[in-house]
Structure 1
């Protein structure tokens, strides 16, 4: 057995109040992955800031170590190691760590060991005919999308940076431009605390003849590992969507007094199948980065299919919008009209609906003011993500709640409605602030107000940040269901090898 490198050995030998079992586990972790893949606090005992800054300016948690396995087998061995003995410590699992606005890489609680799976970055398998890919946590949406360029399959991309993890976003129930990303999940490979690796849902066999069907026979374990601390996911089967032969973006604008009738009209078009994917409605603050005016809401309605059907449906939508009498501008040529001053933004949005995540991050930089590599160090940014019913009344109420929180705290906010069908809206509220103590304090106060006011109105969040993990119990429709998941946790992970997170 090789000796530990001196620097790592010195830190492990530091007489800080680290539990014996944890110290023993970290020594073994070094032997599993190598000293170059283990990051420990400084010898002065400092255990905060080990992960670097986070864009939300959430409190930096104490972190016992960061472990960076090189492959799935090393990850499995680490999970088994920490599951072997009580007191060994708990692993907080991240992919690329770009969970911006919700905590970035930060654990929900202090003293976790961070298991960074960003080094697991293989696209293990790809079947364009059947429409799936097997990807590891470090695979980004930009990388897979570039691989699919020119094929008749596409990834359901988000509007975040190209360098974000597909798997990390999917497991936190992120939303792409073609639908909720959990709809793209077919199977998971999971490392359990007892040392086993299990594959749940659908997984490709050697003959590849079995159609993709994630539910299997009997009870399905697949959903158990979404927003979950029951295991460490080391790979997933992700569905690839058919790429439309043609797509056109119909863009509308309206002023704030028209919010209710505009949403009512758009809901009808969604319900009747005139627009597909995830249509979006931006408030004036959110719409600026996408080519909207300062004083108007902006609506993006994607129409796709064959070239002939796109021409016909776009014409129908344009006619419907003009007859509605609420929209100040109606166009289906924003992405192609050379005289349109916002043609570049519209074209990038149109391309995103066809699976192109904008690998140059043009729109992302316009929204954030910095590139993906600088977000955590330079931007001040928080997310609040409630669900709304798709009604004009709910949209007006949500808009007023955002304005109220902004006025009460002096925090800049923007809201985008992602329409997930005729009845459901994913409302993405972004809070932006300067990176100083007073601005951050006001932004976090605004976030607290949003949690209280939106849940009071019946609009509960579907994703939580690291400071609001305790809301799991508050928001649960049935306390017995939460208790059931905790019983499963006690059964599968009795020694707490996987750290309790935002949904525990």
Structure 2
């Protein structure tokens, strides 16, 4: 029998929840039986896919509940090359789909995340995470879901059983697909996810003075809106562990931001786009390097190599391994599980979403100043979700064996969320510790309607109580 202990360990050092049992369904019949039994017993259940929800709770439930681990529901049901989609179950990992596509549809790729290769595709999408080419919820076409009473429903044209494949994501009438993202109304058992056609590209690495961030954001917003640059922008603070290898040469990057972005296009188009980008950014960067996807980058520094791979659709574990390595820990093995290595520093994160405008540079600076005032040095990544919004991935690291440091990081997260709310800035994802308190502060007619929908789909509150509610 699987022990709950490993499900309670988490790199964020959240207080453990009471988990009495781990359910491991192997098919839909198993899952239905688990849900019906939970409804009869009154014991709530919390579904996870692979549980790599690093920094937000890992595999732990929001409130006390038993775990439904969906890792055995891991079939790649269909890949449609002509309509460019994959139909997958929740246990399918980024690496699993990549390996499949390389054999059966090598011209296609997934919009992968910066997390590890063993993370679930659907776990991140259903929590509306970000990928290397934009907001991953936009890659969702249709869902198959199991309600708490065991009933299966389909969104989009799935309920109509189209014989032509999945080609129109809204279906007929009100669209319900995104009603089930970032919710606790049902369990996703299958999803249709967009795939992208691989294209040649240039990867750009830009070094920006902190004082020039506003001008850089303004210019990048224009380039993205004009579709010169895709939804690929990532801006990292110089102390971000996942890029520390850039600085091993001893070059001083203090008071700098490190920006990455991609320009795609056929070989005839890329030179023209490169000319536009170079001219637009010439006065806004202290250094601008270009890496062609067609070149051999085996000797390039790891942060460059892994980004080339990801924009080819290949996931990897670099962000996690580099973070561990920066703090003196070498991880090995097939599954990279940060939770199980207490010598790796823990981290708390806050994930506000901000406008894609130069004015947002002041908000990013506010987060830095807020943290420094509390003697904390935040690592910050700013990531484009689309042409008009940016995710901020702000986190602080701490010694997991030091309870005062754990508490200090937790207070930082909750206080920062509150202070940003006063400025009209809200998170686009929440951790399991802050969900209840934060959501209580924003009760309004819309959130009351959400509660009514929860009662409609799950009247006994069996599924993931407290999750975004």
Same fold (TM over 0.5): yes
The structure-2 alpha-carbon separation of the partners of 1:496 and 1:205, relative to structure 1 and needing over 3 Å to count, comes to closer
Are residues 1:404 and 2:360 paired? no
- 2:353·2:425 contact (CA, 8 Å) conserved in 1? yes
Instruction: Identify the residue that residue 30 of structure 1 maps to in structure 2.
Output: none
Instruction: Quote the Cα distance in structure 2 between the aligned partners of 1:229 and 1:340.
Output: 44
The structure-2 alpha-carbon separation of the partners of 1:339 and 1:53, relative to structure 1 and needing over 3 Å to count, comes to closer
- 2:201·2:292 contact (CA, 8 Å) conserved in 1? no
State which of 385, 397, 418 in structure 2 corresponds to 1:420: 385
Instruction: Identify the residue that residue 351 of structure 2 maps to in structure 1.
Output: 385
Q: Which has the higher contact order (CA 8 A, sep 6+)?
A: 2
Are residues 1:472 and 2:403 paired? no
Instruction: Identify the residue that residue 131 of structure 2 maps to in structure 1.
Output: 176
Instruction: Identify the residue that residue 97 of structure 1 maps to in structure 2.
Output: 51
State which of 326, 331, 354 in structure 1 corresponds to 2:289: 331
Instruction: Quote the Cα distance in structure 2 between the aligned partners of 1:176 and 1:338.
Output: 24
State which of 274, 280, 293 in structure 1 corresponds to 2:228: 274
Matches within 5 A, 1:157-168: 157-168=112-123
Instruction: Identify the residue that residue 482 of structure 1 maps to in structure 2.
Output: 447
Are residues 1:314 and 2:274 paired? yes
Deviation per residue, 1:289-309 (Å, 9 max, x gap) = 473663221111200021111
Are residues 1:448 and 2:414 paired? yes
Instruction: Quote the Cα distance in structure 2 between the aligned partners of 1:257 and 1:208.
Output: 56
- 2:298·2:305 contact (CA, 8 Å) conserved in 1? no
TM-score (norm 1): 0.83
Matches within 5 A, 1:37-116: 39=3, 49=5, 51-83=7-39, 85=40, 87-110=41-64, 112-116=65-69
Instruction: Quote the Cα distance in structure 2 between the aligned partners of 1:204 and 1:483.
Output: 28
Shift of 1:210: 4.5
RMSD (Å) for aligned C-alpha atoms: 2.4
- 1:283·1:416 contact (CA, 8 Å) conserved in 2? yes
Instruction: Quote the Cα distance in structure 1 between the aligned partners of 2:8 and 2:373.
Output: 31
Shift of 1:93: 0.9
SS in structure 2 of the partner of residue 64 of structure 1: coil
SS in structure 2 of the partner of residue 499 of structure 1: coil
State which of 256, 259, 262 in structure 2 corresponds to 1:302: 262
TM-score (norm 2): 0.89
Are residues 1:222 and 2:180 paired? no
Instruction: Identify the residue that residue 99 of structure 2 maps to in structure 1.
Output: 146
- 1:405·1:449 contact (CA, 8 Å) conserved in 2? no
The structure-2 alpha-carbon separation of the partners of 1:362 and 1:490, relative to structure 1 and needing over 3 Å to count, comes to closer
State which of 308, 317, 320 in structure 2 corresponds to 1:364: 320
Which structure 1 segments of 5+ residues have no match? 1-35, 41-48
The structure-2 alpha-carbon separation of the partners of 1:290 and 1:232, relative to structure 1 and needing over 3 Å to count, comes to farther
